[in-house]
Amino acid sequence: MTTQTTADSELPKLEEVFNPFSAEYCENPAPQCQALAERGRLVFYEAWQAWIMTQMDDIMDCWQREYLSSDFYDWEFAPERPPEDQWQNFERAMIGHSLLADHDHHRLVRKVVSPAFSRNVVDDIQRKIKPDIVALLDSLKDKESFDYIQEVAVNIPFISITRMIGLPEKYWDEFKPVVMDFTKTWNPTISDEEREAARQQCNRAIDIIQEVVAERRKQPQQDDFLSMMLKIEEENEGFEEWDVITLILALIGAGSETTMNAQQWTVYALLKHPDQIPLALEDDQAFSNAFTEISRWAMTSKMGFARYAPEDMELLGQQLRKGQMVLLMPHLYHHDPQKHAEPLKLDVKRKFDPDVLFGYGPRFCIGAALAKRQLFLTMTELFKRFPNLELMEEPERDIEVHNTIALKKLMVKTNL
Ligand code: HEM
Protein backbone atom coordinates (compact mmCIF):
# COMPACT_ATOMS: atom_id res chain seq x y z
CA MET A 1 0.00 0.00 0.00
CA THR A 2 0.96 3.65 -0.09
CA THR A 3 3.67 4.97 2.18
CA GLN A 4 2.39 8.36 3.29
CA THR A 5 4.80 11.16 4.20
CA THR A 6 3.91 13.63 6.97
CA ALA A 7 3.07 16.27 4.35
CA ASP A 8 0.77 13.78 2.57
CA SER A 9 -1.09 12.90 5.74
CA GLU A 10 -2.00 16.56 6.28
CA LEU A 11 -3.77 16.67 2.93
CA PRO A 12 -7.46 15.77 2.62
CA LYS A 13 -8.12 12.22 1.43
CA LEU A 14 -7.77 11.96 -2.35
CA GLU A 15 -11.40 10.76 -2.62
CA GLU A 16 -12.48 14.13 -1.22
CA VAL A 17 -10.80 16.14 -3.97
CA PHE A 18 -11.05 13.75 -6.94
CA ASN A 19 -14.26 11.95 -7.88
CA PRO A 20 -14.88 11.47 -11.63
CA PHE A 21 -18.32 10.06 -10.88
CA SER A 22 -19.48 13.35 -9.32
CA ALA A 23 -21.62 15.98 -11.04
CA GLU A 24 -18.91 18.58 -10.27
CA TYR A 25 -16.29 16.57 -12.17
CA CYS A 26 -18.60 16.19 -15.16
CA GLU A 27 -19.17 19.96 -15.26
CA ASN A 28 -15.52 20.94 -14.81
CA PRO A 29 -12.93 18.17 -14.37
CA ALA A 30 -9.84 20.39 -14.49
CA PRO A 31 -9.54 21.41 -10.80
CA GLN A 32 -10.01 17.81 -9.64
CA CYS A 33 -7.48 16.52 -12.16
CA GLN A 34 -4.97 19.12 -11.04
CA ALA A 35 -5.51 18.21 -7.38
CA LEU A 36 -4.82 14.58 -8.24
CA ALA A 37 -1.71 15.33 -10.32
CA GLU A 38 -0.23 17.36 -7.45
CA ARG A 39 -0.28 14.27 -5.20
CA GLY A 40 2.63 12.61 -6.97
CA ARG A 41 3.74 10.50 -9.92
CA LEU A 42 2.00 7.32 -8.83
CA VAL A 43 -0.90 7.76 -6.45
CA PHE A 44 -3.12 5.13 -4.82
CA TYR A 45 -6.85 5.81 -5.23
CA GLU A 46 -8.69 3.75 -2.68
CA ALA A 47 -12.15 4.17 -4.19
CA TRP A 48 -11.02 2.17 -7.23
CA GLN A 49 -8.30 0.14 -5.49
CA ALA A 50 -6.00 1.31 -8.26
CA TRP A 51 -2.79 3.26 -8.74
CA ILE A 52 -2.91 6.34 -10.94
CA MET A 53 0.08 7.39 -13.04
CA THR A 54 -0.10 11.15 -13.47
CA GLN A 55 2.95 12.38 -15.40
CA MET A 56 3.19 12.36 -19.19
CA ASP A 57 6.87 11.24 -19.31
CA ASP A 58 6.14 8.27 -17.06
CA ILE A 59 3.03 7.36 -19.05
CA MET A 60 4.87 7.48 -22.37
CA ASP A 61 7.65 5.33 -20.95
CA CYS A 62 5.08 2.81 -19.71
CA TRP A 63 3.30 2.80 -23.09
CA GLN A 64 6.59 2.35 -24.91
CA ARG A 65 8.30 -0.29 -22.77
CA GLU A 66 5.13 -2.20 -21.82
CA TYR A 67 6.48 -3.34 -18.46
CA LEU A 68 2.88 -3.62 -17.17
CA SER A 69 0.30 -6.10 -18.46
CA SER A 70 -2.66 -5.08 -20.67
CA ASP A 71 -4.46 -8.37 -20.04
CA PHE A 72 -7.70 -7.80 -18.12
CA TYR A 73 -7.43 -11.33 -16.65
CA ASP A 74 -4.21 -10.28 -14.87
CA TRP A 75 -6.27 -7.86 -12.73
CA GLU A 76 -6.58 -8.98 -9.09
CA PHE A 77 -10.40 -8.58 -9.20
CA ALA A 78 -10.97 -10.10 -12.65
CA PRO A 79 -13.40 -13.02 -12.84
CA GLU A 80 -11.74 -16.43 -12.85
CA ARG A 81 -10.66 -17.61 -16.28
CA PRO A 82 -13.03 -20.55 -16.95
CA PRO A 83 -11.37 -23.91 -17.70
CA GLU A 84 -10.86 -24.47 -21.43
CA ASP A 85 -13.46 -27.27 -21.72
CA GLN A 86 -16.13 -24.72 -20.66
CA TRP A 87 -15.17 -22.02 -23.15
CA GLN A 88 -17.84 -20.68 -25.46
CA ASN A 89 -17.12 -18.47 -28.46
CA PHE A 90 -16.76 -15.47 -26.17
CA GLU A 91 -13.92 -16.94 -24.07
CA ARG A 92 -12.25 -18.39 -27.15
CA ALA A 93 -12.12 -14.91 -28.62
CA MET A 94 -11.27 -12.96 -25.47
CA ILE A 95 -8.48 -15.15 -24.16
CA GLY A 96 -5.12 -15.16 -25.79
CA HIS A 97 -5.78 -14.11 -29.38
CA SER A 98 -4.87 -11.21 -31.57
CA LEU A 99 -4.58 -7.88 -29.69
CA LEU A 100 -5.55 -9.62 -26.44
CA ALA A 101 -2.61 -12.01 -26.59
CA ASP A 102 0.82 -11.87 -24.91
CA HIS A 103 3.39 -9.27 -26.04
CA ASP A 104 5.06 -11.41 -28.68
CA HIS A 105 1.86 -12.52 -30.37
CA HIS A 106 0.42 -9.01 -30.08
CA ARG A 107 3.43 -7.62 -31.91
CA LEU A 108 3.20 -10.27 -34.62
CA VAL A 109 -0.49 -9.45 -35.12
CA ARG A 110 0.17 -5.69 -35.29
CA LYS A 111 2.94 -6.27 -37.82
CA VAL A 112 1.02 -8.56 -40.14
CA VAL A 113 -2.27 -6.65 -40.08
CA SER A 114 -0.78 -3.17 -40.49
CA PRO A 115 -1.38 -3.15 -44.31
CA ALA A 116 -5.10 -3.53 -43.58
CA PHE A 117 -5.04 -0.13 -41.79
CA SER A 118 -2.94 1.78 -44.32
CA ARG A 119 -3.92 5.12 -45.87
CA ASN A 120 -5.18 3.43 -49.06
CA VAL A 121 -7.46 1.17 -47.09
CA VAL A 122 -8.78 4.10 -45.06
CA ASP A 123 -9.46 5.98 -48.35
CA ASP A 124 -11.36 2.94 -49.51
CA ILE A 125 -13.39 2.67 -46.29
CA GLN A 126 -14.18 6.38 -46.56
CA ARG A 127 -15.63 5.73 -50.04
CA LYS A 128 -17.71 2.86 -48.66
CA ILE A 129 -19.17 4.74 -45.67
CA LYS A 130 -19.81 8.03 -47.46
CA PRO A 131 -23.16 7.01 -49.08
CA ASP A 132 -24.49 5.86 -45.68
CA ILE A 133 -23.45 9.09 -43.97
CA VAL A 134 -24.86 11.20 -46.78
CA ALA A 135 -28.18 9.31 -46.61
CA LEU A 136 -28.31 9.64 -42.83
CA LEU A 137 -27.76 13.41 -42.92
CA ASP A 138 -30.10 13.89 -45.89
CA SER A 139 -32.87 12.23 -43.90
CA LEU A 140 -32.63 15.09 -41.37
CA LYS A 141 -32.99 17.93 -43.86
CA ASP A 142 -36.67 18.61 -43.20
CA LYS A 143 -36.27 18.82 -39.45
CA GLU A 144 -36.11 22.13 -37.63
CA SER A 145 -34.18 20.54 -34.82
CA PHE A 146 -32.84 17.14 -33.79
CA ASP A 147 -30.79 15.35 -31.17
CA TYR A 148 -27.38 14.84 -32.80
CA ILE A 149 -26.58 11.91 -30.52
CA GLN A 150 -29.70 9.84 -31.28
CA GLU A 151 -30.00 10.75 -34.94
CA VAL A 152 -26.35 10.66 -35.98
CA ALA A 153 -23.67 9.83 -33.39
CA VAL A 154 -25.05 6.44 -32.30
CA ASN A 155 -25.25 5.26 -35.92
CA ILE A 156 -21.72 6.09 -37.03
CA PRO A 157 -19.81 3.26 -35.27
CA PHE A 158 -22.18 0.67 -36.73
CA ILE A 159 -21.91 2.10 -40.23
CA SER A 160 -18.11 2.22 -40.06
CA ILE A 161 -17.56 -1.23 -38.58
CA THR A 162 -20.01 -3.10 -40.81
CA ARG A 163 -18.78 -1.35 -43.95
CA MET A 164 -15.18 -1.84 -42.96
CA ILE A 165 -15.44 -5.58 -42.44
CA GLY A 166 -17.93 -5.95 -45.29
CA LEU A 167 -20.70 -7.54 -43.22
CA PRO A 168 -23.63 -8.39 -45.53
CA GLU A 169 -26.82 -6.42 -44.82
CA LYS A 170 -28.82 -9.57 -44.00
CA TYR A 171 -26.90 -9.77 -40.68
CA TRP A 172 -27.24 -6.11 -39.70
CA ASP A 173 -30.28 -6.36 -37.39
CA GLU A 174 -28.67 -9.09 -35.32
CA PHE A 175 -25.26 -7.44 -35.32
CA LYS A 176 -26.32 -3.91 -34.36
CA PRO A 177 -26.90 -4.49 -30.62
CA VAL A 178 -23.48 -6.12 -30.35
CA VAL A 179 -21.73 -3.04 -31.66
CA MET A 180 -23.72 -0.84 -29.28
CA ASP A 181 -23.35 -3.07 -26.19
CA PHE A 182 -20.08 -4.92 -26.62
CA THR A 183 -18.22 -3.09 -23.85
CA LYS A 184 -20.94 -4.22 -21.42
CA THR A 185 -19.32 -7.67 -21.53
CA TRP A 186 -16.65 -6.40 -19.11
CA ASN A 187 -18.34 -3.34 -17.56
CA PRO A 188 -18.00 -3.82 -13.77
CA THR A 189 -20.74 -1.26 -12.96
CA ILE A 190 -23.74 -3.13 -14.44
CA SER A 191 -25.69 -6.19 -13.22
CA ASP A 192 -24.56 -9.77 -13.87
CA GLU A 193 -27.71 -10.32 -15.99
CA GLU A 194 -26.92 -7.37 -18.27
CA ARG A 195 -23.31 -8.50 -18.63
CA GLU A 196 -24.41 -12.05 -19.41
CA ALA A 197 -26.93 -10.80 -22.03
CA ALA A 198 -24.16 -8.83 -23.75
CA ARG A 199 -21.93 -11.91 -23.62
CA GLN A 200 -24.60 -14.06 -25.29
CA GLN A 201 -25.12 -11.44 -27.99
CA CYS A 202 -21.40 -11.53 -28.53
CA ASN A 203 -21.45 -15.34 -28.86
CA ARG A 204 -24.04 -14.99 -31.62
CA ALA A 205 -22.01 -12.22 -33.30
CA ILE A 206 -19.02 -14.56 -33.42
CA ASP A 207 -21.20 -17.21 -35.13
CA ILE A 208 -22.09 -14.58 -37.72
CA ILE A 209 -18.46 -13.55 -38.25
CA GLN A 210 -17.58 -17.23 -38.71
CA GLU A 211 -20.34 -17.63 -41.30
CA VAL A 212 -19.12 -14.60 -43.22
CA VAL A 213 -15.50 -15.81 -43.01
CA ALA A 214 -16.59 -19.16 -44.48
CA GLU A 215 -18.38 -17.34 -47.32
CA ARG A 216 -15.28 -15.22 -48.03
CA ARG A 217 -13.07 -18.29 -48.09
CA LYS A 218 -15.23 -19.66 -50.90
CA GLN A 219 -15.50 -16.32 -52.68
CA PRO A 220 -12.76 -13.83 -51.83
CA GLN A 221 -13.59 -10.25 -52.82
CA GLN A 222 -11.24 -7.54 -53.92
CA ASP A 223 -10.50 -4.60 -51.58
CA ASP A 224 -12.37 -6.23 -48.76
CA PHE A 225 -11.06 -6.19 -45.19
CA LEU A 226 -12.05 -9.79 -44.43
CA SER A 227 -10.57 -11.14 -47.67
CA MET A 228 -7.40 -9.22 -46.84
CA MET A 229 -7.34 -10.80 -43.37
CA LEU A 230 -7.73 -14.28 -44.84
CA LYS A 231 -4.85 -13.64 -47.21
CA ILE A 232 -2.74 -12.50 -44.25
CA GLU A 233 -3.77 -15.69 -42.42
CA GLU A 234 -2.65 -17.79 -45.37
CA GLU A 235 0.73 -16.06 -45.61
CA ASN A 236 1.62 -15.83 -41.90
CA GLU A 237 2.18 -18.78 -39.69
CA GLY A 238 0.83 -18.10 -36.19
CA PHE A 239 -1.98 -15.83 -37.40
CA GLU A 240 -5.18 -17.87 -37.52
CA GLU A 241 -8.94 -17.54 -37.85
CA TRP A 242 -9.45 -16.79 -34.14
CA ASP A 243 -7.02 -13.89 -34.50
CA VAL A 244 -9.23 -12.50 -37.26
CA ILE A 245 -12.38 -12.90 -35.14
CA THR A 246 -10.77 -11.36 -32.05
CA LEU A 247 -9.41 -8.49 -34.10
CA ILE A 248 -12.91 -7.68 -35.37
CA LEU A 249 -14.24 -7.75 -31.79
CA ALA A 250 -11.37 -5.52 -30.69
CA LEU A 251 -12.31 -3.04 -33.42
CA ILE A 252 -15.90 -3.09 -32.19
CA GLY A 253 -14.86 -2.81 -28.52
CA ALA A 254 -12.34 -0.03 -29.00
CA GLY A 255 -14.00 1.77 -31.90
CA SER A 256 -17.65 2.19 -30.85
CA GLU A 257 -18.01 4.28 -27.70
CA THR A 258 -14.88 6.26 -28.57
CA THR A 259 -16.36 7.21 -31.95
CA MET A 260 -19.78 8.04 -30.54
CA ASN A 261 -18.24 10.22 -27.88
CA ALA A 262 -15.94 11.91 -30.39
CA GLN A 263 -18.94 12.71 -32.61
CA GLN A 264 -20.91 14.45 -29.90
CA TRP A 265 -18.03 16.46 -28.45
CA THR A 266 -16.73 17.55 -31.86
CA VAL A 267 -20.11 18.94 -32.85
CA TYR A 268 -20.54 20.58 -29.44
CA ALA A 269 -17.05 22.15 -29.49
CA LEU A 270 -17.43 23.46 -33.03
CA LEU A 271 -20.91 24.88 -32.42
CA LYS A 272 -19.57 26.69 -29.35
CA HIS A 273 -16.79 28.12 -31.55
CA PRO A 274 -18.24 28.63 -35.05
CA ASP A 275 -15.19 30.69 -36.13
CA GLN A 276 -13.10 27.49 -35.81
CA ILE A 277 -15.29 25.40 -38.16
CA PRO A 278 -13.66 26.43 -41.48
CA LEU A 279 -10.16 26.13 -39.95
CA ALA A 280 -10.90 22.65 -38.60
CA LEU A 281 -12.40 21.44 -41.86
CA GLU A 282 -9.72 22.83 -44.24
CA ASP A 283 -8.55 19.30 -45.05
CA ASP A 284 -7.99 15.97 -43.29
CA GLN A 285 -4.59 17.06 -41.91
CA ALA A 286 -6.03 20.22 -40.38
CA PHE A 287 -8.87 18.18 -38.96
CA SER A 288 -6.50 15.69 -37.41
CA ASN A 289 -4.90 18.46 -35.35
CA ALA A 290 -8.27 20.06 -34.67
CA PHE A 291 -9.56 16.81 -33.21
CA THR A 292 -6.66 16.58 -30.75
CA GLU A 293 -7.43 20.14 -29.69
CA ILE A 294 -11.15 19.45 -29.37
CA SER A 295 -10.37 16.43 -27.18
CA ARG A 296 -7.99 18.49 -25.03
CA TRP A 297 -10.53 21.29 -24.66
CA ALA A 298 -13.45 18.93 -23.93
CA MET A 299 -11.40 16.90 -21.42
CA THR A 300 -13.88 14.02 -21.23
CA SER A 301 -11.74 11.23 -19.75
CA LYS A 302 -12.59 9.79 -16.39
CA MET A 303 -10.52 6.65 -15.88
CA GLY A 304 -7.67 6.67 -18.41
CA PHE A 305 -6.07 3.46 -19.67
CA ALA A 306 -5.81 0.33 -17.52
CA ARG A 307 -2.72 -1.79 -16.95
CA TYR A 308 -1.97 -4.48 -14.34
CA ALA A 309 1.17 -5.26 -12.30
CA PRO A 310 2.49 -8.58 -13.67
CA GLU A 311 4.27 -9.32 -10.37
CA ASP A 312 5.06 -7.66 -7.04
CA MET A 313 7.23 -4.74 -8.07
CA GLU A 314 8.58 -1.34 -7.15
CA LEU A 315 7.43 1.45 -9.44
CA LEU A 316 8.10 5.18 -9.22
CA GLY A 317 8.92 4.90 -5.53
CA GLN A 318 5.82 2.82 -4.64
CA GLN A 319 5.42 -0.86 -3.85
CA LEU A 320 2.89 -2.57 -6.13
CA ARG A 321 1.27 -5.95 -5.52
CA LYS A 322 0.85 -8.46 -8.38
CA GLY A 323 -2.49 -7.87 -10.11
CA GLN A 324 -3.00 -4.28 -8.94
CA MET A 325 -4.48 -1.96 -11.51
CA VAL A 326 -2.49 1.03 -12.74
CA LEU A 327 -4.46 3.71 -14.60
CA LEU A 328 -2.53 5.88 -17.04
CA MET A 329 -4.07 9.35 -17.13
CA PRO A 330 -2.50 11.53 -19.82
CA HIS A 331 -5.43 13.98 -19.65
CA LEU A 332 -4.80 15.43 -16.20
CA TYR A 333 -2.93 18.49 -17.52
CA HIS A 334 -5.26 19.33 -20.42
CA HIS A 335 -6.35 22.61 -18.84
CA ASP A 336 -3.11 23.47 -17.10
CA PRO A 337 -1.85 26.93 -18.22
CA GLN A 338 1.78 25.78 -17.64
CA LYS A 339 1.29 23.15 -20.38
CA HIS A 340 -1.18 24.88 -22.72
CA ALA A 341 -1.39 28.66 -23.04
CA GLU A 342 -4.94 29.98 -22.54
CA PRO A 343 -6.23 26.46 -21.88
CA LEU A 344 -9.93 27.34 -21.98
CA LYS A 345 -9.61 28.71 -25.51
CA LEU A 346 -10.36 26.32 -28.38
CA ASP A 347 -7.66 26.93 -30.98
CA VAL A 348 -7.71 24.21 -33.64
CA LYS A 349 -4.29 25.33 -34.87
CA ARG A 350 -2.64 24.74 -31.49
CA LYS A 351 0.53 22.61 -31.77
CA PHE A 352 0.92 19.34 -29.87
CA ASP A 353 4.22 17.69 -29.11
CA PRO A 354 3.71 14.94 -28.20
CA ASP A 355 0.23 14.25 -29.56
CA VAL A 356 -0.86 11.18 -27.59
CA LEU A 357 -4.61 11.31 -28.14
CA PHE A 358 -4.43 7.88 -29.75
CA GLY A 359 -1.83 6.46 -27.38
CA TYR A 360 1.82 5.74 -28.08
CA GLY A 361 4.17 2.81 -28.68
CA PRO A 362 3.23 -0.80 -29.52
CA ARG A 363 -0.44 -0.38 -28.56
CA PHE A 364 -1.00 2.89 -30.40
CA CYS A 365 -4.63 2.98 -31.62
CA ILE A 366 -4.88 0.78 -34.68
CA GLY A 367 -8.04 2.63 -35.80
CA ALA A 368 -6.67 6.18 -35.44
CA ALA A 369 -6.66 7.02 -39.16
CA LEU A 370 -10.10 5.54 -39.62
CA ALA A 371 -11.51 7.32 -36.56
CA LYS A 372 -10.28 10.71 -37.75
CA ARG A 373 -11.40 10.15 -41.32
CA GLN A 374 -14.96 9.10 -40.45
CA LEU A 375 -15.25 12.07 -38.13
CA PHE A 376 -13.86 14.46 -40.74
CA LEU A 377 -16.25 13.06 -43.33
CA THR A 378 -19.28 13.41 -41.03
CA MET A 379 -18.38 16.97 -39.99
CA THR A 380 -17.78 18.05 -43.60
CA GLU A 381 -21.11 16.62 -44.76
CA LEU A 382 -22.94 17.96 -41.69
CA PHE A 383 -21.82 21.58 -42.09
CA LYS A 384 -22.24 21.43 -45.88
CA ARG A 385 -25.92 20.56 -45.38
CA PHE A 386 -26.52 22.71 -42.33
CA PRO A 387 -24.25 25.77 -42.61
CA ASN A 388 -26.27 27.64 -39.96
CA LEU A 389 -26.45 24.79 -37.47
CA GLU A 390 -26.74 26.03 -33.86
CA LEU A 391 -26.95 24.59 -30.38
CA MET A 392 -30.52 24.71 -29.14
CA GLU A 393 -29.63 24.53 -25.46
CA GLU A 394 -26.65 23.80 -23.25
CA PRO A 395 -26.49 19.97 -23.08
CA GLU A 396 -26.76 18.22 -19.75
CA ARG A 397 -23.93 15.83 -18.77
CA ASP A 398 -24.79 12.18 -18.17
CA ILE A 399 -22.95 11.30 -14.97
CA GLU A 400 -23.96 7.61 -15.20
CA VAL A 401 -21.47 6.80 -17.97
CA HIS A 402 -18.56 5.27 -16.12
CA ASN A 403 -15.50 5.90 -18.27
CA THR A 404 -16.17 9.19 -20.02
CA ILE A 405 -18.06 12.46 -19.64
CA ALA A 406 -20.97 12.01 -22.02
CA LEU A 407 -23.83 14.30 -22.95
CA LYS A 408 -27.43 13.17 -22.32
CA LYS A 409 -28.54 14.69 -25.60
CA LEU A 410 -27.28 17.31 -28.00
CA MET A 411 -30.19 19.29 -29.42
CA VAL A 412 -29.32 21.33 -32.50
CA LYS A 413 -31.36 23.76 -34.65
CA THR A 414 -30.94 23.40 -38.40
CA ASN A 415 -31.92 27.01 -39.37
CA LEU A 416 -32.47 26.03 -43.01
C1 HEM B 1 -11.97 9.07 -31.34
C2 HEM B 1 -11.78 7.86 -31.43
C3 HEM B 1 -10.67 7.06 -30.79
C4 HEM B 1 -9.76 7.38 -29.82
C5 HEM B 1 -9.58 8.71 -29.10
C6 HEM B 1 -8.94 6.21 -29.59
C7 HEM B 1 -7.88 6.14 -28.70
C8 HEM B 1 -7.14 5.01 -28.45
C9 HEM B 1 -6.07 4.91 -27.48
C10 HEM B 1 -5.59 6.04 -26.59
C11 HEM B 1 -5.60 3.64 -27.51
C12 HEM B 1 -4.48 3.06 -26.64
C13 HEM B 1 -5.11 2.52 -25.37
C14 HEM B 1 -4.14 1.98 -24.37
O15 HEM B 1 -2.94 2.28 -24.41
O16 HEM B 1 -4.60 1.26 -23.48
C17 HEM B 1 -6.38 2.90 -28.49
C18 HEM B 1 -6.21 1.56 -28.78
C19 HEM B 1 -6.98 0.89 -29.73
N20 HEM B 1 -7.92 1.44 -30.57
FE21 HEM B 1 -8.56 3.34 -30.59
N22 HEM B 1 -9.36 5.21 -30.42
C23 HEM B 1 -10.41 5.70 -31.18
C24 HEM B 1 -11.12 5.03 -32.16
C25 HEM B 1 -10.85 3.76 -32.59
C26 HEM B 1 -11.50 3.10 -33.72
C27 HEM B 1 -12.55 3.74 -34.63
C28 HEM B 1 -11.00 1.83 -33.76
C29 HEM B 1 -11.29 0.70 -34.73
C30 HEM B 1 -12.12 0.71 -35.70
C31 HEM B 1 -10.05 1.70 -32.68
C32 HEM B 1 -9.35 0.55 -32.38
C33 HEM B 1 -8.42 0.44 -31.38
C34 HEM B 1 -7.79 -0.83 -31.00
C35 HEM B 1 -8.09 -2.19 -31.63
C36 HEM B 1 -6.89 -0.53 -29.97
C37 HEM B 1 -5.97 -1.52 -29.27
C38 HEM B 1 -4.66 -1.58 -30.03
C39 HEM B 1 -3.67 -2.60 -29.48
O40 HEM B 1 -3.85 -3.07 -28.36
O41 HEM B 1 -2.72 -2.88 -30.20
N42 HEM B 1 -9.97 2.88 -32.00
N43 HEM B 1 -7.31 3.77 -29.04
The closest residue, in CA terms, to atom 36 on ligand 1 is: 365
Domains of the chain by residue range: 6-413
Tens digit of pLDDT for each residue in 98-114? Answer: 787 788 889 999 999 99
Q: Whose CA is closest to atom 11 on ligand 1?
A: 365
Among 112, 365, 378, 404, residue to substitute to test ligand 1 (most atoms within 8 Å of Cβ): 365
Over residues 2-14, the pLDDT tens digits come to: 444 445 567 899 9
Which atom of ligand 1 has the smallest separation from the CA of 361?
A: 15
H-helix or E-strand spanning residue 36: helix 30-37
Answer yes or no: are the C-beta atoms of 199 and 182 closer than 8 Å.
no
> Does residue 354 have a cis bond before it (omega within 30 degrees)?
yes
Distance 409 CA to ligand 1 centre (A): 24
Listed in order, strand segments (DSSP E) in 184-339 are 305-308, 313-315, 318-320, 325-328
- Please tell me the pTM assigned to this model: 0.93
End-to-end Cα distance, the chain: 60
Strand 325-328 and strand 305-308: the pairing is: antiparallel
6-413 under CATH 1.10.630.10, yes or no: yes
The pocket around ligand 1, CB under 6 angstroms, is made up of 63, 99, 110, 250-251, 254-255, 258-259, 262, 305, 357-359, 363, 365-367, 370-371
- pLDDT of 183 above 50: yes
**Ligand 1 atom having least distance to the Cα of 305:** 16
From the alpha carbon of 256, which atom of ligand 1 is closest? Answer: 27
Q: How far is CA 26 from CA 31, 391, 406, in A?
A: 11, 19, 8
Q: Which residue has the higher pLDDT, 24 or 120?
A: 24
Q: With 80 as the cut, is the pLDDT of residue 175 above it?
A: yes
Ligand 1 center to residue 365 CA distance, Å?
Answer: 4
